[in-house]
Amino acid sequence: MAGRRIQQEETDRRIYRHKRRVRNQIISYIVITIIFAGLVVGGVIGVRRIMSVINDKKQAEELQKQLEELAETENSQQTVEAPEETADPEPPEETDWLEVMVEETIAGMTLEDKAAGLFFITPEALTGTDTVIQAGDTTKEKLGAQPVGGLVYSSKNFKDEAQLKEMLQNTRSYSKTSIFLGVAEEGGSVSPVAESGLAENVGKMWDIGAAGDTAGAQTAGNTIGTYLAGYGFNVNFAPVADVVVEGNALGERAFGTDQGQVSGMVSAFVEGSKSTGVSVCLKYFPGLGDVTGNASEGMVTSDKSIEAFMERDFPVYQAGISAGADLVMVSHLSLPNVTGDNTPASLSGKMVTEILRQQLGFEGIIITDAMNVAAITEYYTAGEAAVKALQAGVDMIFMPEDYTEAYEGVLEAVQNGSVTEEQINESLRRIFRVKLRDRLE
């Protein structure tokens, strides 16, 4: 019994020891788990604290940087220097709209159109008919093919007011470019419009000059310009700006024999015409007032020196130019003591460019006298005369003997280099500055 009891006790002890080991193992596991959990929690907390420290450090550095930048800004504001004084900028150049229109017009023209634009001819020369009293299909066709620079009319072209207005209006509308429509309405015996009964004749310029009536000269210019503009003309080949001597062929067409008096009259006539929109043409440079002979019959020569012209004739042209004349007509007078030979003034570079353009300072349109007279036709073909005039510095050829031949001669001269296209462009610039002036607004 005692042995069995002892054995039972031994068994109980083993079971107890086993349970104790299991309990101790469980406790160990629990302790280890708790410790591990603590380590994990502590690590997380530590990492957060480390990150917090790092972030705080970055924020501190950023804050420090901002404070330093602020300090630098304040210092720069305190030490900023006044800007250096600079010159006021120049105002922009004002656009020359007239020049813009002129250049655009020329740029749109063919060489053929440009050459045609240098000619001022009769409507009969344009259309090939005997007498033009209307502008119909033929005029439209011809101006479409060759837009000449201008047409000049005479009394045979005038029938009545309505006919004249319609003819000029249609002619203007048919031209590819702006066109001059001209007439020689001087007053007195050379007044085709007034002599046709379409206006009141203002009388002889000689009578106005003899009366010393400068205001009368201005009124005459204004009256003529007004009725010409009313019909549709924009160029008047007047006034005669020559100082004449007794017996000269110009006679009553001129203002007188005294250079000072004539200068005042010419200037007043030009000023009177300006307000009407009709351009005037001073004639006959350098002066036919004291010569004999007629260019229609052959060469006309003067032995005068340049000094004599400067004293007696040029002051009148300078007065008219200063008053605003848009055109000056150059005669066919030969001046061997000035040019060195018998070349007509209209074909002389000495007279056209050196004296009229440069010495007298004329910047407008230089046009020849009628080129269909013996002083020209006996010595030159129509083509030769036209080319020589352009080479001399003329801008427009007036009434050539044969328009087609003269036109083709100019084209040929450009092609062979005798006349440059740029020279033609320069003439067209002067021409269109007058033609387009009223369109500026």
Residue 30 CB-density burial (10 A; 0-12 exposed, 13-18 middle, 19+ buried)? exposed
Task: Kindly list the distances between the CA atom of residue 144 and the CA atoms of 154, 177, 328, in Å, as whole numbers in the listed order.
Answer: 23, 9, 28
Distance (Å, rounded) from C-alpha 155 to C-alpha 149?
21
Lowest mean pLDDT among 17-31, 67-81, 93-107, 313-327: 67-81
Q: Do residues 391 and 380 lie in contact, with contact meaning Cβ atoms separated by under 8 Å?
A: no
Distance (Å, rounded) from C-alpha 76 to C-alpha 234?
71
Q: Which 8-state DSSP code applies to residue 344?
A: B
What is the per-residue pLDDT across 394-429, written as a single tens digit (0 to 9) for each? 999 999 999 999 999 999 999 999 999 999 999 999
Q: What is the pLDDT of residue 246?
A: 84
Summarize the confidence of residues 22-31 as an average pLDDT.
Answer: 56
Amino acid identity of residue 371, one-letter, is M
Q: Do residues 153 and 182 lie in contact, with contact meaning Cβ atoms separated by under 8 Å?
A: yes
Q: What is the pLDDT of residue 9?
A: 53
Distance (Å, rounded) from C-alpha 35 to C-alpha 29?
10
Query: Which band of pLDDT confidence, cut at 50, 70 and 90, is reported for residue 68?
Result: low
Q: What is the pLDDT of residue 44?
A: 43
Q: What is the pLDDT of residue 8?
A: 52
Residue 36 phi, psi (nearest 5): -65, -45
Could you give the 3-state DSSP secondary structure of residue 235? strand
Percent of the chain with pLDDT over 70: 79
Q: What is the pLDDT of residue 423?
A: 97
Which tokens in the block code for residue 415? 């092609």
Quick one: which H or E segment has residue 398?
strand 397-398
Query: Which band of pLDDT confidence, cut at 50, 70 and 90, is reported for residue 311?
Result: very high
Q: What is the pLDDT of residue 440?
A: 74
Average pLDDT, the chain: 87
Quick one: which H or E segment has residue 236?
strand 235-236
Whether residue 27 is predicted with pLDDT greater than 60 in this model: the reply is no
Could you give the 3-state DSSP secondary structure of residue 282? strand
Half-sphere exposure (Cβ direction) of 44: Cα atoms closer than 13 Å:
5
Give the residue carrying structure tokens 């708790």: 34
Residue 12 phi, psi (nearest 5): -60, -40
Which residues are 388's β-sheet partners? none
Q: What is the pLDDT of residue 353?
A: 98
Lowest mean pLDDT among 17-26, 79-88, 225-234, 328-337: 79-88
Task: Kindly list the distances between the CA atom of residue 85 and the CA atoms of 88, 89, 249, in Å, as whole numbers in the listed order.
Answer: 9, 12, 71
DSSP conformation letters of 138-193: HHHHHHHH---SEEEE-GGG---HHHHHHHHHHHHHH-SS--EEEE---BTTB-HH
What is the per-residue pLDDT across 114-162, written as a single tens digit (0 to 9) for each? 999 999 999 999 999 999 999 999 999 999 999 999 999 999 999 999 9
From the CA atom positions of the chain, what is the Rg in Å? 50
Whether residue 45 is predicted with pLDDT greater than 60 in this model: the reply is no
Distance (Å, rounded) from C-alpha 236 to C-alpha 273?
9
* Closest listed residue to residue 319, CA positions, set 284, 355, 269, 253: 269
Name which residue leads in pLDDT, 195 or 91.
195
Q: What is the pLDDT of residue 79?
A: 45
Name which residue leads in pLDDT, 99 or 53.
99
Whether residue 217 is predicted with pLDDT greater than 70 in this model: the reply is yes
What is the per-residue pLDDT across 250-270, written as a single tens digit (0 to 9) for each? 989 999 999 999 999 999 999
Distant-in-sequence, close-in-space partners of 216: CB < 8 Å, separation ≥ 6: 208
Q: What is the pLDDT of residue 13?
A: 56
Q: Do residues 152 and 183 lie in contact, with contact meaning Cβ atoms separated by under 8 Å?
A: yes
Q: Domains in the chain, start-ordered, CATH in brackets?
A: 114-439 (3.20.20.300)
**Strand order of the sheet with strand 150-153?**
365-368, 327-330, 279-285, 235-236, 180-183, 150-153, 119-121, 397-398
Query: Which band of pLDDT confidence, cut at 50, 70 and 90, is reported for residue 95?
Result: confident
Percent of the chain with pLDDT over 90: 75
Summarize the confidence of residues 201-211 as an average pLDDT.
Answer: 97
Q: What is the pLDDT of residue 439?
A: 82
**What's this model's pTM, rounded to 2 decimal places?**
0.79
